[in-house]
Amino acid sequence: MIVVLKQNASELKVEELMKRLRGMGLDIHQSRGTHSTILGLVGDTSAVDIDALHALEVVETVKRIQEPYKNANRKFHPDDTVISVGDAKIGGGHFGVIAGPCSVESREQLCSVAADVKKAGASFLRGGAFKPRTSPYAFQGLRGEGIKLLLEAKKETGLPIVTEIMDLSQLFLFEDVDVIQVGARNMQNFEMLKELGRLHKPILLKRGLSSTLQELLMSAEYIMAGGNQQVILCERGIRTFETATRNTLDLSAIPALRQMTHLPIVVDPSHATGHASMVKPMAIAAAAAGADGLMIEVHNDPAHALCDGQQSLTPEQFAETMQAVNAVLPFACR
Amino acid sequence: MIVVLKQNASELKVEELMKRLRGMGLDIHQSRGTHSTILGLVGDTSAVDIDALHALEVVETVKRIQEPYKNANRKFHPDDTVISVGDAKIGGGHFGVIAGPCSVESREQLCSVAADVKKAGASFLRGGAFKPRTSPYAFQGLRGEGIKLLLEAKKETGLPIVTEIMDLSQLFLFEDVDVIQVGARNMQNFEMLKELGRLHKPILLKRGLSSTLQELLMSAEYIMAGGNQQVILCERGIRTFETATRNTLDLSAIPALRQMTHLPIVVDPSHATGHASMVKPMAIAAAAAGADGLMIEVHNDPAHALCDGQQSLTPEQFAETMQAVNAVLPFACR
Amino acid sequence: MIVVLKQNASELKVEELMKRLRGMGLDIHQSRGTHSTILGLVGDTSAVDIDALHALEVVETVKRIQEPYKNANRKFHPDDTVISVGDAKIGGGHFGVIAGPCSVESREQLCSVAADVKKAGASFLRGGAFKPRTSPYAFQGLRGEGIKLLLEAKKETGLPIVTEIMDLSQLFLFEDVDVIQVGARNMQNFEMLKELGRLHKPILLKRGLSSTLQELLMSAEYIMAGGNQQVILCERGIRTFETATRNTLDLSAIPALRQMTHLPIVVDPSHATGHASMVKPMAIAAAAAGADGLMIEVHNDPAHALCDGQQSLTPEQFAETMQAVNAVLPFACR
Amino acid sequence: MIVVLKQNASELKVEELMKRLRGMGLDIHQSRGTHSTILGLVGDTSAVDIDALHALEVVETVKRIQEPYKNANRKFHPDDTVISVGDAKIGGGHFGVIAGPCSVESREQLCSVAADVKKAGASFLRGGAFKPRTSPYAFQGLRGEGIKLLLEAKKETGLPIVTEIMDLSQLFLFEDVDVIQVGARNMQNFEMLKELGRLHKPILLKRGLSSTLQELLMSAEYIMAGGNQQVILCERGIRTFETATRNTLDLSAIPALRQMTHLPIVVDPSHATGHASMVKPMAIAAAAAGADGLMIEVHNDPAHALCDGQQSLTPEQFAETMQAVNAVLPFACR
């Protein structure tokens, strides 16, 4: 961490600051220039509050050099993390596909889709029981009943299930859920992240709508600092000025995160593009760019889906997409 | 709501769609052009799911004409909402100032600041007990103990208190809190909004980091749909590419929201700018533009604040800012 | 185009508006609801000024249904446009790679890189003679001298050349340039676009830093409206909040533009990511997603490049990238 | 400037780098930590190319401490710049208002508006002769003829005129124009900025649609580096996700720029909001926040304006706005 002092900083105040910093176990290297003095802080700066330093009268600016995340940092954990659930694996060379309907609507719908996506090669079943909807007047999900149906579909197909939690008060319902999803709008729901950090099951953490990759990793850090190291990161598109797509899928997040962290990276082309016709090209591109997996919405009757029908693939389209992805995988950039 | 049909839409499918729409109690006006057919939907379209319509094979595009919010809509409630807590009022011509430290740190700190801001003219005391911090290694607030201290400061000064809830599991601690704040990162925590909609106390709802005003109103709608009509909207800056300020304060939100809704609008120049030196000019500007109130961070010793010191005013600076705001208020644009 | 009238719009004013619209050759379909009246305008609305309609007292809002671009619109020109320069082709199934240094620095540098990229399979040579630099104190390019060197390299290697124009006063120097590039910062330099519309040579039009795809197509429309139909679109990353990459490469622009327009789409992973290590994964991903070509920066000695060294590939890295791209191309999504 | 070296950087390469930096006249302070070595560069770093440093194998990251602008920097020119044209002044305590129609349409229109705005207290007349329009099919301005009409209106009213240049080929027409405006889309048209730097007349430089304040100052620096110190900065709203306003007016740019630069700051609430009804509140707010002036669109018949009618004030509304602004000015934050 670099602290740049103001030109006219009083000796006394600077001494006070340096004492405070040394008290935090940091070594200080001082460089005096004509226009400014620079303090280089050496040691573990992850607990140093940048804002607090900025507030000091003698400080002109503060720049962080070391990443503020530790558990998620590849520098300290060079090997890829592999997430295993039953036979399914994601990360470290294992490519995993999570597929299923946006929202669980009925036993028939879910089991039919589950059978179809399994046949096409998916290794996880997804389905929303609790649905975050912008409008209070829109369908809010089957909730507890939805979780029950997911567990039935799991029993029938053997596919481990992935579903979203929206509030900690729902946690007791997730005991038999294999992977708990944290949605984009909850990426910085810090109380929830802390609680999930006490569990012993994988968390699929979606990137916030306008979050940076560092912020995503800081949210993973919240979970990992609690003891739960099983975090799957999910790029699902960020908000930009573009309107031709629902969000903008940031595929450069794959090589960027690959360097920053050892955690597996999954891409969701359905929410990112918002259009079924764009899911296949973006799925192939994500695989080619080196993603560890995909999350894709599949519905047996998109035109009558209760949620996100326009971005859902039919089972046939999904099977076709899987074939195309499998053809590209051997040439993927890893 | 306008539904534009595809050029080659089959008669049968269009009939099916029109039947479905009529089943929702909507009237349909049809316009046939050479390149496309347009359906004008008349009636209460707030429950119509735009995404579901987009998913239909015959639909080219859908455009909403009516606002999707009802309770918050000025069209249906022309008169300004006034929020009253004890003697303090915000909205409908009443200008209210909420001031206090970013986080509650100790009894001494809080009571000292509370006395100072009251003297300078604040009508509410703010202070964070639960603190949403990007890093799990940063100070997380005094939590339950912080709420207790706020209630003591209230007793001492008579100022009603405003403090943030971060998770529903904390709700039981907020029984004696006067105004519950929903932070920017929780603006779309829909389960929390629903639960707060069942209370009978004012909710201060902060705009999300990259939310539109319509999304802010849809979140207010979640609270209001539950029965709680006491919502105060708070503009606290949005994320932009600018780095000279922490966020970009959107003061045009004031006249824009004024037209869209009857709810009171409060501006937080502290979080928006992130620099104490910019709080005063932005506070005056907000007052001039017609805001119903301000939310300002004040600390007795910003250099040693545990949180957000760089954007906190000293009590002297706050008193000066209040004077400047009061001088401008008679000329404000309402 | 849809015009929604205000609830209380005077009959007289509405009549006046309808007369004005009919005077523009448009047919009008009227739908009267309880809360609003909707006018559906049928005919060629590309010349209708939306802002002018918005300014009218009786108008609540205006929504465009038809795209405002005609020449670039796939609806009116279903077949892919193919751009040919000598033996090189881009579009309609022809994949073309444009490679070379960010800026032309010397005869040796340019000819050496040109020979290398040709050998690795590039079909065009790029090199900047005029350089748009954020700082007036940075290297501004060899200018006229740079164009001369490019023409020499073309003579030596046979590769057609692509280089950027920054101002119309430089146009006379571009007579023998094969493809004129319009940079991201000039995408809405409308006077320049008009002038380039009078030429008979291909224009490579880069997407603006925060432009939408529709705005990109409107800029292409400026060139095409002048008579020059040879426009190559280039996605080169857009500005987002992310800082781990220089810009955010929007690969969903490929399938989105494919539907909107018949023009070829080229992707520049070098400027988009800003890091040499991310160029290969993004190049493969772009090819997989169905791009018509790539634009890649290659330098014989990136560490001493006068411009953008950190994102330049060495000739060896470029050759490796080309191999990887060629392996993926047969499985690309078209 | 701070250069952070990679952990495993070879001694030899580091020596080479330090030699190169010393060759640029810089002093180097070295701090060795356990994880990284930091070089603090002392001296004039404005010509150092950050990208070039990033490209080096031994460099982990580079952070700029000193601002890259010199002429525009308040640190080196503490006193406010005052721009004078005839009797009109902007900056250093002088508040100047620039008003007039979006585009010059006719002699009658222009002279009528000019007389009205002068009467209401404007000190400059604005009017567009060359109009940057997103669509090639929209009205493009009266061009040369428009400049002539502006000069006639100047003769009639005595008001100095401000009008936009779109291309250097038009420069000869601007000889008698008092203030040349550079539009938002041309803020980084570097060739134009360089040429305007050779003139001896004030340039009104508008902030780009998604530009940072530092980028705005770097564009001012282009003009000033050429010798022309008369630059007026104009905040006109930036692109955000908000759709209720045309752009988002960033009023915190006023106090932020005030600290960064000595140049005068003018605010354009017309383009920023896009709605006539929001111009007055934002004009007052800008004045309160300490702006040096305003730029406001006024039209005698907004409903029939050829351009931007919806954001134009009538002469009556403008007079009212001026009164409100004048009432607030004595309490403005300076």
Residue B59 shares a structural domain with residue B89: no
- Between CA D106 and CA C266 the distance in angstroms is 44
C22 interface with D at CB cutoff 8 Å: no
Judging contacts by C-beta atoms under 8 Å, the chain A residues touching residue C256 are: 244-245, 278
State the CATH number of the domain containing residue B312.
Answer: 3.20.20.70
Q: Which residues pair with C96 in a beta bridge?
A: C293
What was the pLDDT predicted at D54? 83
Residue C251 lies in a domain: yes
**Nearest C-alpha neighbor of B200 from the set B80, B97, B84:** B84
Q: Tell me how far apart the alpha carbons of residues C309 and B95 are, in angstroms, rounded to a whole number.
A: 56
The tens digit of pLDDT for each residue in B241-294 reads: 999 999 999 999 999 999 999 999 999 999 999 999 999 999 999 999 999 999
D91 with D190, same domain? yes
Question: Which ipTM did the prediction report?
Answer: 0.93
A256 lies within 8 A of chain C by CB: yes
Cβ neighbours of residue B209 closer than 8 Å, sequence gap 6 or more: A210, B184, B185, B238, B239, B247
pLDDT at C134 over 70: yes
One-character DSSP codes across C233-271: EEE--B--S--SSSSB-BTTHHHHHHHHBSS-EEE-HHH
On whether residue B74 sits in a domain, the answer given is no
**Interface contacts (A, B; CB < 8 Å):** 137
Q: Does D110 lie in the same domain as D49?
A: no
Domain region containing D33: 2-63
% of chain B beyond a pLDDT of 70: 99
Residue ranges of the alpha helices (H) in B60-211?
107-120, 144-157, 190-196
Same domain, D304 and D222: yes
**Starting from the edge strand earliest in sequence, which strands make up the sheet with C27-32, in order?**
C27-32, C37-42, C2-5, C59-63
Residue A227 scores a pLDDT above 90:
yes
Comparing alpha-carbon positions, the chain A residue that sits nearest to B274 is A51
Q: Is residue A69 part of a domain?
A: no
For the record, the structure tokens of A302 come out as 């998109």
Q: In Å, how far are C85, C111, C315, C316, C322 from C156, measured between CA atoms? A: 17, 8, 18, 21, 22
Q: How confident is the model at residue B33 (pLDDT cuts 50, 70, 90)?
A: low
User: D244 — contact with chain C (CB < 8 Å)?
Assistant: no
pLDDT higher than threshold 70 for residue B79: yes
Mean of pLDDT over chain B: 94
From the CA of A204, how many Å to the nearest CA of chain C? 21
Tell me, yes or no, if B134 comes closer than 8 A to chain C by beta carbon.
Answer: no
Q: Is residue B190 part of a domain?
A: yes
pLDDT score at A42: 79
Please answer yes or no on whether D56 and C303 come within 8 Å at the CB atom: yes
DSSP-based helix, strand, coil % in chain A, nearest 5 = 35, 20, 40
- DSSP characters over D26-50: -EEEEEE-SS-EEEEEES--TT--H
Residue B2 has pLDDT above 90, yes or no: no
* Residue range D158-177, pLDDT digits in tens: 999 999 999 999 999 999 99
- pLDDT tens digits, residue range C259-297? 999 999 999 999 999 999 999 999 999 999 999 999 999
Q: Kindly state the average pLDDT of the residues C136-145.
A: 93
Look up the CATH number of the domain holding residue A21: 3.30.70.1140
Q: Is the pLDDT of residue D34 over 70?
A: no
- Whether residues D221 and C135 touch (CB distance < 8 A) is answered with yes
Contact present, B182 and B206 (Cβ < 8 Å): yes
Considering the domain architecture, whether residues C30 and C151 belong to the same structural domain is answered as no
Which of A250, A285, A290 lies closest to C242 in CB terms? Answer: A250
| Closest approach of C91 to chain B, Cα-based (Å) | 27
* D160 and D254 within one domain: yes
Assess whether C50 and C141 both reside in one domain: no
CA distances from A27 to A39, B226, C224, D80 (A): 10, 55, 63, 42
Which of D254, D260, D285 has its CB closest to that of B288? D285
Under DSSP, the state recorded for C332 is -
Same domain (yes/no): C194, C226: yes
- Residue C168 near chain D (CB below 8 Å): yes
Q: Do B35 and C63 touch (CB under 8 A)?
A: no
What is the DSSP code (8-state) at residue A153?
H
> Which pLDDT score is estimated for D165?
98
The whole-number average pLDDT for the span C221-234 is 97
CB-closest option in C211, C252, C272 to A245: C252
Two tokens, residue A177:
């859920």
Whether the CB of D44 is below 8 Å from some CB of chain A: the reply is no
Q: Which residues of B touch C5 (CB under 8 A)?
A: none
Long-range interactions of C169-177: CB distance < 8 A, separation 24+: C169/D168, C169/D169, C169/D191, C170/C130, C170/C143, C170/D191, C171/C195, C173/C144, C173/C147, C174/C147, C176/C151, C177/C147, C177/C150, C177/C151, C177/C201
pLDDT at site C35: 66
CB contact under 8 A, C303 and D57: yes
Chain C residue with CA closest to A320: the answer is C333
Residue of D210, D217, D218, D242 to mutate for B, most B C-beta atoms under 10 A: D242
Asked if residue C247 and residue C157 are part of one domain, the reply reads yes
pLDDT tens, position by position, B229-244: 999 999 999 999 999 9
d(CA C222, CA C197): 7
Does C254 lie at the interface with A, CB-CB under 8 angstroms?
yes
Average pLDDT over residues B3-23: 87
Flag if B307 and A56 touch (Cβ within 8 Å): no
Q: Check whether A80 has a pLDDT greater than 80.
A: yes
Which residue has better confidence, B21 or D33?
Answer: B21
Closest CB to D33 among A38, A42, A241: A42
Pick the closest to residue A271 from A92, A98, A117, A83 (CA basis): A98
**Is C55 a domain residue?**
yes
Report yes or no on C13 lying in a domain.
yes
User: What is the average pLDDT value for chain A, to the nearest integer?
Assistant: 94
Amino acid at A222: Y
Average pLDDT across chain C, whole number: 94
- Do B38 and B104 belong to one domain? no
Structural domain contains residue A308: yes
> Is D162 at the interface with chain B, CB within 8 A?
no
Looking at chain A, which subunits does it touch, using at least 3 CB pairs closer than 8 Å as the criterion?
Answer: B, C, D
For residue D212, the chain B residues in CB contact (below 8 A) are 241-244
With contacts defined as CB-CB under 8 Å, which chain C residues touch D317?
none
What chains are in contact with D, requiring at least 3 Cβ pairs below 8 Å?
A, B, C
Phi-psi region of C228 (alpha: psi -120 to 50; beta: other; left: phi over 0): beta
- The set of residues, in sequence order, having a beta carbon less than 8 Å from that of D163 and lying 6+ positions away, is D126, D127, D128, D129, D130, D146, D147, D150, D174, D177, D180, D181
Show Cβ contacts of residue D65 under 8 Å, excluding neighbours closer than 6 positions: A2, A4, A36, A38, A60, A61, A63, D1, D2, D45
pLDDT band at B316 (very low <50, low <70, confident <90, very high): very high
Structural tokens at position A226:
């609690």
Percent of chain A past pLDDT 90, that is, above it, reads 75
Q: Does B35 have pLDDT greater than 70? A: no
Q: What is the dihedral of CA A315, A318, A322, A328, to 10 degrees?
A: 160
A45 shares its domain with A148: no
User: Who wins on pLDDT, B55 or B206?
Assistant: B206
Angle at C312 between CA C307 and CA C313, to 5 degrees: 155
Provide the shortest C-alpha distance from residue B64 to chain D (in Å).
Answer: 14
Min distance C164 CA to chain D CA atoms (Å): 13
d(CA B293, CA B232): 10
The answer, yes or no, to whether residue C24 has pLDDT greater than 90, is no
Residues D7 and D106 in one domain: no
pLDDT tens for residues D176-232? 999 999 999 999 999 999 999 999 999 999 999 999 999 999 999 999 999 999 999
pLDDT tens by residue, B200-213: 999 999 999 999 99
As for how many domains chain D has, the answer is 2
C159-195: string of b/e by CB count within 10 Å (b at 16+)? bbbbbbbbbbebbebbeebbbbbbbbbbbbbbbbbbb
C77 found inside a domain? no
Using the predicted structure, report yes or no on whether residue C91 has a pLDDT greater than 80. Answer: yes
CA dist D309 and D305 (Å) reads 5
- Amino acid D306: pLDDT: 83
Query: Which regions of chain D does DSSP assign to beta strands (E)?
Result: 2-5, 27-32, 37-42, 59-63, 83-85, 88-90, 96-100, 124-126, 161-165, 179-182, 203-206, 231-235, 265-267, 293-297
